[in-house]
Structure 1
Amino acid sequence: MPSASAAPGAPMRTARMTWRQAIDRRAERHGLGARPAGAAPADAVAAMCGAHAQIQSAGEVSVALRLDGATRQDVRTALLTEHTLVKTYGPRGTVHLLPARDLPMWTGALSALPAGSGNGGGPRAYLTEEQTEQVLEAVADALADAELTTDELTEAIVERTGPWAGDPVMEAFQGAWPRWRAATHLAAYRGVLCFGAPRGRKVTHTSPGRLLPGFRPLPAEQALTRLLTGYLRAYGPATPQSFARWLAAPVTWASGLFERNAGAVQPVDVEGTTAWVAAGDTAAAEAPARGLRLLPYFDAYGVGGHPRERIFPGRASERALARGQAGNYPLLLIDGTVAGVWHQRLSGRRVRIAVEPLEPLPAARLADLDEQVERLGAILGARPELTIGPIPVGPHA
């Protein structure tokens, strides 16, 4: 791990910061402060270092709420028409929206993670190394000029490799998946697979190179350095442990990456804890994080927010986390920290929004809440109805 007092070649004076200042910085960087995260959906996604999109509607809200006047349709247009966003597998092997301009970095970095990182053990439980490479070659060939449903892609892979690739051996939600799907995350990390436009209710896959002419993953070490410094700009001050958790990678590997990039990162003393920021990035937020926000399921600010006890203080750690995991509840955020949960039910042109604050909200906060509910309705294109009180809905699986 890098020294807490020096960078290669010269002594470095350790900057100091309070946790309150760290939270103010993060909220501002994520576009949750006084100003938006940019002018376009790709700017907002870059600012939070990727937007979780396992739940597509939640991902759209997550991006739109960080931009002035944006709606979920603006996010869809960026993804499906402009191709300034790409939907693919990102940190922890989960579905993310990523800026198209940064996809060379993401694929170069994620493909360099240690085997088994981010995707529950990788393909080794179902595929030999030789079979894995055959599947990846088949995926690249099948998707180079096509947009295929999962079933169509399965047929194309089996045709190119053999019937073994289609063996239904992977336990799934309803039955079993074919063997080749154990390499799905790795195919995305290698840059030969991403999501295409939905075909009705069916998911499709295509090649990033088909959407982004000239696309090519960056070399591994260059990509990892860019990912590390990008993460620290969004979530710093942070530790190798929190970076490892964000990627679902080994802590020893993350610590080694910090060491190899000692010139690109800088230690900061945060109330006695040594954490890191990108080198030279020690400026305070332009203004303290003030105000109220409604963050959807798996919003990046909560999922990537560490230490948990600072972002989820007091009762929030019990109410808004699921066995220590963030993202399973939509979050009521006040001044950059979690202060409750909420839930929505969309029905036609109406959305019912229930909010459960952990403490009674004073009049000024209630006014902020009304404004946020109206904003959420505008993002969804629905008329909002607000109720305040206990929410019986459990965490999202």
Structure 2
Amino acid sequence: MTLSVSWTAAHARRLTRQFLGSPAAGSAPPSISADLARTAGAMLGAHAQVLSAAELSLCLRHAGATRADVRAALWEAGTLTKTYGPRGTVHLLPTAELPLWTGALSALPMGRSPHPEGVRLTGKQTDEVVAAVADALDGACLTADELTEAVVARTGPWAGELTVPAFQGRWPRWRQALHTAAHRGALCFGPNRGRKVTYTRPRGVVPEPGDAALAELVRRYLHAYGPATPQSFAKWLAVSPSWAVSLFGSLGGRIEEVDFEGERAWVAAGDTEFDGGAVDGVWLLPYFDAFGIAAYPRERLFAGAARERALAGGQAGNFPLLLVADAVAGVWHQRRSGRRIAVTVEPLRPLSAGRSRELEGRVRRVGEALEGAAELTVGEVTVGPHA
């Protein structure tokens, strides 16, 4: 008989497994660096296009971590690595899991290049660039300009031609392979040099075989966000839905079908324990928090007015989220001035006295995590998405 799973039960399990229902226990250094890596692994990476958002995502899942602890885990202890992860976007990933991630991400089907013939890299040129990047960054930490010089010296002038449209001009051709180099384990981010981004090579990373890595990534995705469909997995990775359907079909007895609110969905084989109790609580999730991006079906999480207010063109992550019980219930924004952090929360419906007290506690935790003093205002958030 097929197991039936309710939205409430799935949501409750996801919260628990993401350390939102019960934050990871506080530890003293150096254990806290290991705790933060474990938390990042449970989330399947913390989105770090804006590093401060990733810092807050991790801290809010831990009983006492601060942004300084995340930075120490990243740049001192080395338990976290900043690199290109799911969807080709910057993430903080557990360093110990890089063989899995590079194996899986490098095995994903390549999308169609947006660059015209004569500009886009051939397969051979891509391989040459990745090899050059790996060699140049072995034991080194280089800015983008320095890496360009090193890549051109190892490949040829064609790699340095300014052909790739960028924010304020054009980037050299080799940068088409930047994400690919990261996915193959040849590149990750180093600490900034002043205001300049740097790159380095992660030490000792050998990508796992693609098929095994993809199977394990599906298992971990289903553990964190299941029940889920191939289509939601495809959206999370930004790959073809048909390819994801084929991948799920190839896993046989390693995944198990369930009925999720009347629809077919999957969990990892044997991972069928759900607590049917009601979800209760208030949470604040920062920009591009993994929970808001990867939890499907989106119409359940962003129900009613939340669909219009908390999504930007149907895309999750552009607004920080107020989560109440089992659905998004508003948006929020923070503005910092010295140690003072002004937090404005816009609920989509009035909060009870109990909910308000819980929200005040969540706001205090934001202040602690960011090493400041947070002050709550309940009212309209007047800034736009990703402000």
Taking structure 1 as the reference length, the TM-score comes to: 0.92
Deviation for aligned residue 1:48:
0.9
**In the superposition, relative to structure 1, how do residues 57 and 98 fare at CA in structure 2: closer, same or farther (>3 Å)?**
same
Residues in 1 aligned to 2:66 and 2:369: alpha-carbon distance in whole angstroms: 4
> Secondary structure, in 3 states, of the residue corresponding to 1:301?
helix
1:297 maps to which residue?
287
Shift of 1:35: 4.2
* Alignment gaps of 5+ in structure 2: 28-34
State the partner residue of 1:5: none
Once residues 336 and 199 of structure 1 are traced to their aligned partners in structure 2, the CA distance between those partners, rounded to angstroms, is 42
Are 2:28 and 1:34 aligned? no
- Give the residue type in structure 1 aligned to 2:312: A
Letter aligned with residue 11 of structure 2: I
Map 1:222-233 → 2, pairs under 5 A: 222-233=212-223
Which residue in 1 is equivalent to 2:184?
Answer: 190
Q: Residue 126 of structure 2 aligns to a residue in which SS? A: helix
Contact 1:62/1:299 (<8 A) preserved: yes
- Alpha-carbon distance between aligned partners in 1 of 2:138 and 2:184, rounded to the nearest angstrom: 14
Q: 1:38 deviation in Å?
A: 8.6
Give the Cα separation in 1 of the matches to 2:43 and 2:370.
21
Q: What residue number does 1:313 align with?
A: 303
User: Which residue, 349, 352, 356 being the options, matches 1:359?
Assistant: 349
d(CA) in 1 for partners of 2:97, 2:114: 26
Letter matched to residue 317 of structure 1? R
Letter of the aligned partner of 2:149 in structure 1? E
Q: 1:181 aligns with which of 175, 182, 188?
A: 175
Amino acid at match of 1:30: Q
**Structure 1 residue ranges without an equivalent (≥5):** 1-12
Residues 280/258 of structure 1: CA separation in 2 closer, same or farther (3 Å cut): same
Letter in 1 for 2:60: L
User: Are 1:137 and 2:125 matched, yes or no?
Assistant: no
| 1:128 matched to 2:122 | yes
Do structure 1's residue 148 and structure 2's residue 146 form an aligned pair? no
1-structure distance, mates of 2:170, 2:63: 44
| Letter in structure 1 aligned against 2:107 | A
CA deviations over 1:250-271 (Å, ceiling 9, x no partner): 1111111111112111111012
Give the total of aligned pairs.
379
Greater shift, 37-46 or 155-164, is seen at 37-46
Structure 2 counterpart SS, 1:198: strand
RMSD: 1.7
Give the SS at the match of 2:127. helix
Partner in structure 2 of residue 9 of structure 1: none
Distance in 2 between residues matched to 1:346 and 1:176, nearest whole Å: 33
Partner of 2:67: 72
Report the Cα offset of residue 19 of structure 1.
1.1
Q: Deviations over 1:48-78 (max 9, x none)?
A: 1111000000000000110111111111111
- Three-state SS of the structure 1 residue aligned to 2:357 is helix
By how many angstroms is 1:215 displaced?
A: 2.2
Between the aligned partners of 2:276 and 2:377, the Cα distance in structure 1 is 34
Residue 8 of structure 2 is matched in structure 1 by 20
